[in-house]
Structure 1
Amino acid sequence: MMQVINSVAVGPQTIYDVSLTINIALGIATVVASIGLGILLRRLLVRRLRKTVLDNWIVQTLGVLVIVTPILLGVVGAVAIFNASFVVMALQQNIIKNPQLAINFSWSLTQTMLILVLGNGIARTLRAMMVRSLGSSRMDINMRTLFARVLYIVVLSITGFFILSVWNIPVAIPVTVLGAFTVAITVAFQDILKNLVAGFYILVERPFYIGDQINITSGVITYIGKVEDIQLRATMLRLTSGEEVSIPNLFIFSNAVINNTHFGERRSILMLTMPQENFERDETTSKIMQLLKEYPEVMSKPEPVIMVNGYEDSKISLQIRFWVATGQIIDISHVVYELHNLFPTADISVKEPI
């Protein structure tokens, strides 16, 4: 019996491809591990600092800065995996032979971090001070929010210019780069820019305020809820069912919006259908009026109104209208329940509010 041994020749190119694949995998794993380590350190640091007297913006800024060191080490490690001699040579030339360059780089990096922390802190502080000061002047919350955000962006922009000056980068360079990308950004983010313009319109025109309850209807889609925040891109709405939904400002700008709480009062309509033999005009209406007067949330002016809405199949339909204060959301189900106790054979439904 003859045994044939088939040998597979492994060339240099195959070995290089395998080595390159391993290096890429190790480099990616190193970067991912450094990011994970940075996130873990940030979480531990933020959890620890929240128990101190430090302000929240200081805690969050320090939490961001602590991520930088592991990521930088991870990137250096990933480069060293591909070309260790390059990293060693760069360290020798820049640190050993030219320590002043490394000192200058470290000092510039330290200045950048300090300016970033200080600028973010000043921006957040001025934003809070503006909201508080404008609130004492009785300016509506939409305009306070708009002015505060504009001030925040301006301060951060000034901070960015200071950081550029630390690295001796001319202002014309970022301006030129920004101008070059303006057309591409405009084309790629048309919807975002439209939402920004619509958000600016909502903050300035003020069709509704933060805290109002609004209805937004487009076709078969209807959103009903309380406005929690008006951002430049979207409006945060807390639905009556309890969920929070982010609605693009362009959607609000392009569709009809009903502000349920714009005025101080709001109308409620109940439909009551009962057999005609059980209906007595004076007695039935007086019972309903007496029931409504027992609820302090029901406004006496305008007065509640009870009117016949129609006759059909030996039944009479009554429409009960009354007004409630916007700030006192009456539980309509209580009125429906009491009406059912008064008229057990009647069919009762809520027409407004919906």
Structure 2
Amino acid sequence: MLAWAGPWLKPILIFLAAAIAGFLAPAVLLRPLARFFEKVEPQMKEVLYAAGRRHIPFWFTLAGIVVGLRLSPLRGLHPLWIRHIDHLLMVLFVLSVSLAIARIAVVWIHSVATRLALGTTTLLENLTRLVIYGMGLLLILANLDISIAPLLTALGVGSLAVALALQDTLSNLFSGIYIIVNRQIRLGDYIKLDSGAEGFVRDIGWRSTTICDRADNFILIPNTKIAQAVVTNLNLPRREFSVPVRLGVSYASDLSRVERVALEVAAGVQREVPGAIPGFEPILRYQAFGESSVDFMILLRVMAFEDQHLATHEFIKRVHERFGREGIEIPFPQRVLHQAAAK
């Protein structure tokens, strides 16, 4: 029994030592990196720990298997079998490294884009993963002594057929890339299309752009439609948003007094309502003689498009109550008819 176990004892001990070292290594190896990223990119700390705990023990275990096989009786196998085993271990290692790098790269891109207020999209994340996985695949093929030249030739010959078959998909893909690079439509922006669709941009994918309307419903629009449409971005060139509120008062009103009272109410809204810009001075302009009132518009200013509703709500409530106290009439729609006297 001991004679049979003797040749395997050393490889087994090496494998166990590598497994234990892999279990302990993340705490030792990742601590300096975690301290660095905690100061520079706080989000990266958790990602490094998560990726390290998952992949580093696996890498140490693979190393233990490689060394153990070199010292075990299996080294007497046919060289072809040894080569196949080495290739299998190498493929597993490259796949694990690619998965770890892709995960870290996606989170890093997301962190940098968030800090710079650029926003990240599933298209950008998927392209990052595709590039890293593609590099890993090329590395695997190179280590397996598989020439990629015939593969590239086959892809070149078949690219025309693929392009024709996936014409719409590729158009949406490149349109999505154009939208991201152009940066005139960003995540979180409120946009209006000439088709009538409008909402907040939630994601830009490889096929479509997702916007969320005011009813909290998702609208999926192909990227080519976005690229070709006339788009109004209400968050550019700046997020501040002007809110026009139109009112009318009786023809018998003192318009100077109406202007003073309305501006006082609007100034209170600017100071007190969340989302309004406190330092902005509201503007009032009379616009027309309406059928039953003298019409005017008062201009408020809010920090973002979504803040306009609360500011308008509060202004209408306050101006209605103040006009009532001041005796300023907001007339009902009415029309005066003059009937000619009968002869």
TM-score (norm 1): 0.59
Partner residue of 1:175? 152
The question of whether the paired residues in 2 share the 8 Å contact of 1:119 and 1:156 is answered with yes
Partner residue of 2:181? 204
Name the structure where strand makes up a greater proportion of residues: 1
The question of whether the paired residues in 1 share the 8 Å contact of 2:267 and 2:282 is answered with no
The question of whether the paired residues in 1 share the 8 Å contact of 2:94 and 2:136 is answered with yes
Instruction: Say whether residues 1:128 and 2:112 are aligned partners.
Output: no
Instruction: Say whether residues 1:249 and 2:219 are aligned partners.
Output: no
What secondary structure is seen at the aligned counterpart in 2 of 1:307?
Answer: strand
- 2: distance between equivalents of 1:146 and 1:186? 19
Q: How does 1:1-354 map to 2 (within 5 A)?
A: 54-55=50-51, 108-109=87-88, 111-132=90-111, 138=116, 141=118, 151-165=128-142, 167-218=144-195, 221-225=196-200, 227-262=201-236, 263-277=238-252, 279-295=253-269, 296=271, 297-299=275-277, 303-326=281-304, 329-330=307-308, 331=310, 332-343=312-323, 346=330
Unmatched 5+ stretches in structure 2: 1-48, 59-76, 333-343
TM-score (norm 2): 0.61
Q: State the Cα distance separating 1:268 from its structure 2 match.
A: 0.7
Change (3 A) 1:128 1:341: same
Change (3 A) 1:57 1:165: farther
Change (3 A) 1:284 1:298: farther
- Among all aligned residue pairs of Structure 1 and Structure 2, give the percentage whose two residues are the same amino acid: 21
Q: State the Cα distance separating 1:311 from its structure 2 match.
A: 2.1
Change (3 A) 1:147 1:194: closer
The question of whether the paired residues in 1 share the 8 Å contact of 2:189 and 2:234 is answered with yes
Change (3 A) 1:223 1:141: same
What secondary structure is seen at the aligned counterpart in 2 of 1:276?
Answer: coil
- 1: distance between equivalents of 2:290 and 2:120? 53
Letter in 2 for 1:268: V
The question of whether the paired residues in 2 share the 8 Å contact of 1:198 and 1:253 is answered with yes
Q: State the Cα distance separating 1:153 from its structure 2 match.
A: 3.0
Q: State the Cα distance separating 1:54 from its structure 2 match.
A: 4.5
Unmatched 5+ stretches in structure 1: 1-52, 63-97, 349-354
The question of whether the paired residues in 2 share the 8 Å contact of 1:134 and 1:144 is answered with no
RMSD: 3.8
Q: Deviations for 1:87-129, whole angstroms, at most 9, x for unmatched residues?
A: xxxxxxxxxxx99988876765554344223212112213333
- 2: distance between equivalents of 1:253 and 1:57? 43
Letter in 1 for 2:175: A
- 2: distance between equivalents of 1:246 and 1:58? 36
- 2: distance between equivalents of 1:158 and 1:202? 26
Q: State the Cα distance separating 1:173 from its structure 2 match.
A: 3.3
Change (3 A) 1:299 1:242: same
The question of whether the paired residues in 2 share the 8 Å contact of 1:224 and 1:239 is answered with yes
- 1: distance between equivalents of 2:263 and 2:179? 41
- 1: distance between equivalents of 2:169 and 2:323? 55
The question of whether the paired residues in 1 share the 8 Å contact of 2:121 and 2:205 is answered with no
The question of whether the paired residues in 2 share the 8 Å contact of 1:108 and 1:167 is answered with yes
The question of whether the paired residues in 1 share the 8 Å contact of 2:248 and 2:294 is answered with yes
Letter in 2 for 1:234: S
- 2: distance between equivalents of 1:235 and 1:292? 38
- 1: distance between equivalents of 2:218 and 2:194? 17
Change (3 A) 1:211 1:347: farther
- 2: distance between equivalents of 1:158 and 1:57? 23
Letter in 1 for 2:97: L
What secondary structure is seen at the aligned counterpart in 1 of 2:185?
Answer: coil
Q: State the Cα distance separating 1:174 from its structure 2 match.
A: 2.6
- 1: distance between equivalents of 2:245 and 2:263? 13
Change (3 A) 1:56 1:314: farther
